Structure 1
Amino acid sequence: MVDASGRAAMIARKLGHFRPNLEHPINAVWARFTGVKEWDSYEWREKFPEMANACRTSREWATNHLMGYGWWCWIIPLRGGDVSAGIVYDSRIFDLPADATLAQRLHNHLISHPVGRAIFGEAQAIEGDVHAFSALPYWSEKVCGNGWAAVGDATGFIDPLYSPGLDFCSFTSYYVANFLSRSLAGENISALLDYYNTQYPVTYRRWFESLYQDKYFYMGEADLMSAALLLDVASYYIGLVRPVYRDPEWAFARLPFEGRPGRIAASMIRFYRRRLVALAKNRAAAGRLGETNSGWRELYDGFVPDFRLRKQIGQGLRRWCRAEWRNLTISPRQAQSPPATCAVIPNEAQRSRGTPSNIA
């Protein structure tokens, strides 16, 4: 029996293997909206010429993102003109504005952001199409056993940022399909089952600790998030994409972050992630959150699995080094609480880039 039931994780829950990830308390709320302003309309271009002229391609059909201290929002166009908009937030440092309904709370947050206010000011959430998930991340202590195996989100989930669920789905589905076919051919697959149960928790833990743990503390800082995105995505292309391009049969026959190379890679990514978290917390303690965000606009070349990744890595390292240098000269000012409902990256959506679909 193969459990591909997603978040329901039927077998893991039934057998007592299901575990919530309490170190990453994120929640999500999303809705379908009508009456959303068009990003590429003449009205928009006349009202915001600087923002319109900064992008030479269409924003309207892209996935756009707004980001702030402890949260990020997606804005996705749907067939027929409606728009899916949602938020993922860390409940330790952010909560939605108070209001009568969940849809109103989400809408109030969207219009607290300058860009969100411009396009969602007259929008309405469609009744009956508002959804929420709490305690998003979880994992299964055991992913296979006598006569059963789990794949995809039935094994675990970390965070929708960068869509790592697609990677987990690819690797786990291929691995399980491989040992099922070998079992049906009469092979002894006990070693493959042991590997899957042993390596999956290691993969999940290293993926979480290297990329996502406490990430929402610096999500509202444009320079820190820019450095993270460049280094995160370049690491993903080097560690996961290139091996799959070279030899998919070999790459999908094992799970990411395996063995000594996986441990070293996870340690390197975890190191700069921890430094970015520390820099953001220092800014918060000094009352200096969001000071580098005004006027921030940056376009990136597309990520490709070849030597051109060196450019993105170099950009990311330079961003990080500048942030470390600035941290040496930061001075406290009158204490302030981090903004809860207002945006700290007013120009995030201006970059008009979709978040990369996967990260390792």
Structure 2
Amino acid sequence: MSSSNIYSSDLDEETRQKIKGDMIGDSLYSESFVLKTLLQLSDLKWNNEIEEDYCFLWDMTADTDVCKYLFNLEFPALACSAISRIDEPRFIEIIIGMLANLLCAECDKNITEEEIKVVLRELDTDDSLVLIQVNRFIAAVAHSYDTLPFLTTTEVDKLIFILNNSVNKELIEKTLETVLKITDNFKLEQGLVNIQLYKSVITGLQTILDISSSDFEVNDCSKTLIRFFLQIVTNVCSYTNKFSDDNLVLAISSCDMFNEASKKVLEYLSKEENIFPLDNQLIFYIKALSYIFISVDFCFVDSIFIYFCKILFMLHESKEDMLDVYKETVGIIGYFIFVGNQEVILNAFKKMLYLQAIFVLNSLKQNETKIEGNISAKLRYLFKEFK
């Protein structure tokens, strides 16, 4: 949210002194405006003018000094009391949006678990604009808390319902981002990260992104959603690795959506114009896919294998600058050599340019001791038969 804030440092000393008494921090936002607006909560008569005031106050919460001031006024308690009493969707949307902004601010935060639960109850609404802000709020809470005991089956089932049934692109995208945040670092209780949640993520993504279509391309619009999806799958794999959930592993490894998304991302990255200049996005894709494939014992797929080999060949000139991602790519190629049938692997190499294939085989030989699983016999076979 952009801010039209004016800072006191932009003014001359005389003007600063004249208005200093009503300023919030270093901004020119008015304390009296905030107090006047909040006093209306005692007997709110919703109209266009009041809506404009609260929209402006919502904009103001992009400023850290304003957030500090509102926390000092115990705004979360005032807001949650108002949400419980006032049945006006636009008002509820604005108030929850403000709370989400406050929780994103770099300042001390004071909000109780009971106040959080008041906002979570708004997941019962069918108003998509309110639900978007509730999802922003949950994501903000997840950013501030190490565990989320107030998220129970009830709340997670409502997120699953949204992903399974909504056709609102923005709402689905925000809900996917929420699932990403709450499953990060085991914040969500183990039993809630299950097949139903994973399948709802697939359904939500399919609603707004037709990855299986021959016309689908990775572009600026789809990158964010694919990144959300791969990060969620990575988070879920962390749960499967820690808690040994074989059913969830099977659901991921046999998922057509995941297979298609992986192929499309790797196809995109296997083109030189998309891989350079090297950036953090490439590192994320390679590391996420590598982690997922190994976590779920993914089987050999020649197209995925070939894409990784092409990426490794392109990386070799920048190996010193991107050593981590280079090693990661060698590692996942080695994994596929380990799990694949040697004749099938040989056929995959024969589909590549000769120089690419030889380079990959030599790289594997040089890094053989660093690859999990013994691939010595298969490498000897591949060198013999390919050359």
Shorter-normalised TM range: under 0.3
| Max Rg structure | 2
Which has more helix, going by share of residues?
Answer: 2
> Structure 1-normalised TM-score?
0.21
Q: Which gives a bigger RCO, structure 1 or 2 (Cα 8 Å, sep 6+)?
A: 1
